[in-house]
Each structure stands twice: as C-alpha cells, then as structure tokens.
Amino acid sequence: MDIQTIKNRYDIVGNDPKLLMAINKAIQVAPTDLSILVTGESGVGKEVFARMIHDNSGRKHKKLVPVNCGAIPEGTIESELFGHVKGSFTGADKDRKGYFEEADGGTIFLDEIGELPLSMQVKLLRVLENGEIIPVGSSSARKINVRVVAATNVDLMAAIRKGQYREDLYYRLNQISIAIPPLRERKDDIILLFRKFASDVSEKYHMPLLQLSDDARQYLRQYPWYGNVRELKNVTEQIAVVENDRLVTSEILSNYIHYVPDGNMPVLFRPEAQQSSTAISDRELLLKALSMGQMINEMRSEINNLKQIITSLAQHNTNQRQTGAAQPEYIEREQYYQLDTPSHIDVSPYPQQTETPNHNIRTFKHPAGNTYDLPSYQQPTEDVEFQDSEVVENEPLSLADREKAAILKALEINHGRRKPAAQMLGISERTLYRKIKEYDLEQ
C-alpha cells in the first residue's frame, strides 16, 4: 500500500518530508510485533498513527484498545490495566478484565505513557518482558499476547535524567521510534489543512466555502501553532461558523488567534521604536545592576557588623576568664559553696556560713538546720616556684575542688550514707551520685 493511499484512508493532509517519512516508517514496522513509541507534541495526531499501525498488522481482526494513562487516577490504574478479582477491594463485587486482557491478541495503545507513575512502570515492564499480567487481588498470573504502541509528548530522556522515568522501560517501549513533526515545522501544510477543515465544515453545515487573502496566508504561516493540528481545526471551525464574510483576512484571524509567544508575526518596522525599546532595555539592565550592587554592599555591611559583635563577645569572655569572673552557668553553684562570700551577695536561699575563731575551719549551716565543718583553704607557708608566669600565687581553690571537698566532708559526717549526705548538701540524691562518679569518689 502506497503512502498516498494511506493518507487518503486516514485523512492525513500534508506533503512535508518529515511527515511522509513518519508515515512510511509506520507502514514498514506495522507487520511486526515490535513495541513502538510514537513521539510528538500534543495535537499532532499520534492516535492516527497507532490506528494506522494496527490496521496494517496481522492483528487487524482483533481489538485496538486505546488507553489514556494520564487520565486514570493513580489509585485505580493497576486495576484498569490488569483487572481485578471479586473482593479484592471495596466495591469489587465481581471479576473484571483489564485493558491488557481486553486487547489480548490485538493492540493496546498507551497514550501519554510519560504520565505513568513509577510504581506502575515496574509492573508494565514485567508485562512487556514476560507477557503475563496479575490482576489485583489474584495470586496467579495470566498469559496474554498484546502488541504495545505507546505515545508521549514528554521528553522521556530528560525525565530519566531527573529520576522520574525508568530507563529500562524506555528502551523496552522504544524498540521502534516514530517522531511526528509539529505543525509549525510544516508551514506549507498549514494552508492545505485550513482548506480541508473549512471544506468539512462547509459540507456539514451547507455553508459557502472560506477563502484566504494573501495577508491571511502569511499570518497563518507565521503563527507558531503550539496546539498543532487540533488548534488549527478549532480556529477554522470557529471562523467558518461565526464570520459572515467568506474572505478571511489577517484582521479576522487576529480576533481568533490571540497568543503569539515568539513574536514571529509580521509587524511594521519603526527604527525610532527599536531605539526606544533598546534604550529602555539598557536602562532596565543598569537599574538591575545598581540594585544588585546595593544589595551586595548591604550584605557586606551586615557581615562586618556580625564580625564585630562576635569579636567583642570573644574579648569579653577572655577578659572574664583572665579576671577570674565566674561564668553565668556556674554562679549559682559558686555561691552555694563559696567559703569567703562577699558581703554584697545575697545567698539567703543557700547554706549560710558562720565564721568561728578557728581560722582553719569554716562552719556551714544548711537551711534544714544541719551544721557541719569544712576545712578552710590554708595559705602556703613556703615559697613555691611556678613555671607558668601567668599563675597568681595565693589563688583560691577552684570551684570543682570546693565542691569535691564539700561532698567528701558530707559523706564523712554521715558515715558514707549518701541520702543524708545529699540532704545535708541541699541537693538531690541523684545529683550526689552523679558528682561522686564525676569526681571518682567511690570507695
């Protein structure tokens, strides 16, 4: 069967070399059982090619089952494709065949295959590899014999790189690839298609035939037609029904074609308008650059302010350590075990210390009423040489040493019993256990 016969049979209009190549390829691969992937933008007529392939194959006496994968909800797509058994889910009151089983012996056309969820891509790959389906709720596989023709307007290779499509499924579907060119690449076919659609409307509704003016022809050729053949048919039918004037001009077309995204429509050239547009563009670029520079300067200023604040805090902490100032989190504990409490510090909630004539003993009185003695720090009587020049002689005991000494004394008074020792120190028994372990005081 030659190409012209095929074109007449399936109402294909056009003589573009890319279109003729796609038709010829479809006729050649139709007798085989290879999976075919038809690619092209929405509205170019991919389903026509699926029907052409099925009708010229050995399966033409069986069903061609078209399935729009993008129109089926994800929750029911497995049941729609592979069927289900009775009781497999709520509402499954009887067994139901899926699209694959309905197409057994024939061809299934999976349109918008790029919209198939990842979970279903794995199951579809198994069907293509093994020729078996497992209905939802069933534990046994069913053998089927189906030829798959898939179509998509999605760039599947880009989807594979993004992890949105399985590469193994792509190569299993794409045993033969047929690419249908968009209408904007078939400029000579646009006028032929307009005439064909206008003739169909005229014959159907008994109206005079539409004619195109020269400027209308140019207008149609320059328009990008992102809706492809479907959009051209829609525009033609609207004009044929609505307009009384049978001569279609560019002015009439402009009332039905509103969107020109790439600016390819013919316009009147004005040098002064171009210069004005260029000047405006330059000003916008300059303003954007100045605005960006101002933002960068503000960010630098904020970063410098943060650096100054951090440096100031670091210097303040260093000065506190050098002058022996207690850190905030240790102030409460320092006051609790302070042996030489300054007069200006109010330590009323904590154990009160009472000076005794013996300067070597400090008596602590706990708010609960218990009184116990702690050894006071003894001033060294001999001169000691220190290698570290920053160490100051007569330095008082550290906070940890004081805490350790108080715990030891409390344990000694209570003969090693930790519960009364904790009560004497005014801390919980659990805290005392932790301090004993921390200072390695276990005997």
DSSP string, 231-300: HHHHHHHHHHHH-S-SEE-HHHHHTT----TT--S-----HHHHHHHHHHHHHHHHHHHHHHHHHHHHHH
DSSP code for 351: P
CATH code for residues 187-290: 1.10.8.60
Question: What pLDDT, on a 0 to 100 scale, did the predictor assign at position 323?
Answer: 59
Name the token pair of 108. Answer: 């299934």
Give the span between the Cα atoms of 92 and 136, in whole angstroms. Answer: 10
Give the span between the Cα atoms of 333 and 29, in whole angstroms. Answer: 88
Q: Which residues contact 159 (CB under 8 A, 6 or more apart)?
A: 114, 165
Name the token pair of 285. Answer: 């670029």
Residue 412, classified by CB atoms within 10 Å of its CB into exposed (0-12), middle (13-18) or buried (19+), is exposed
Question: What pLDDT, on a 0 to 100 scale, did the predictor assign at position 37?
Answer: 97
47 and 53 Cβ atoms separated by less than 8 Å: no
Give the CA distances from residue 326 to residues 174, 323, 333, 344, 407, in Å, rounded to whole numbers and listed in that order.
75, 9, 10, 16, 21
Q: Which residues contact 405 (CB under 8 A, 6 or more apart)?
A: 374, 375, 397
Question: What pLDDT, on a 0 to 100 scale, did the predictor assign at position 274?
Answer: 45
Query: Which residue from 140, 138, 142 is spatially nearest to 95, judged by alpha carbons?
Result: 138
218 and 267 Cβ atoms separated by less than 8 Å: no
In CATH, what is the architecture of 3-181? 3-Layer(aba) Sandwich (3.40)
Domain borders along the chain are: 3-181, 187-290, 330-380+394-438
Question: What pLDDT, on a 0 to 100 scale, did the predictor assign at position 379?
Answer: 46
173 and 37 Cβ atoms separated by less than 8 Å: yes
pLDDT block averages, 10 residues each, the chain of length 443: 89 94 96 96 95 96 95 92 91 91 96 94 93 92 95 95 95 96 95 95 93 95 94 95 93 82 46 45 59 70 75 70 51 43 44 46 50 48 43 56 85 86 85 84 70
Question: What pLDDT, on a 0 to 100 scale, did the predictor assign at position 78?
Answer: 94
Question: What pLDDT, on a 0 to 100 scale, did the predictor assign at position 288?
Answer: 63
**Amino acid of residue 178:** I
Say whether 43 sits in a helix, a strand or coil.
Answer: coil
Question: What pLDDT, on a 0 to 100 scale, did the predictor assign at position 299?
Answer: 75
DSSP code for 113: G
Within 13 Å of residue 34, how many CA atoms lie on the same side as its CB?
Answer: 17
Report the predicted TM-score, pTM, of the whole model to 2 decimal places.
Answer: 0.58
DSSP code for 362: E
